[in-house]
Amino acid sequence: MVLLVLFGGKNCGVCQTIKPQIDEKFSDKFPNLERVYIDCEQLQEICAQRGVFSLPVVQVFFMGQKFIEEMRGFSLMG
Q: Domain-by-domain residue ranges, the chain?
A: 2-71
Mean pLDDT by 10 residues, the chain (78 residues): 95 93 88 95 96 94 93 68
pLDDT at 34: 95
Coarse DSSP helix, strand, coil percentages of the chain, rounded to the nearest 5 percent: 30, 35, 35
What's the CA gap between 78 and 43, in Å, rounded? Answer: 30
pLDDT at 76: 66
pTM above 0.75, yes or no: yes
Paired strand residues for 65: 62
Which fold would CATH assign to domain 2-71? Answer: Glutaredoxin (3.40.30)
What's the CA gap between 39 and 57, in Å, rounded? Answer: 11
H helical segments located in the chain? 13-29, 44-49
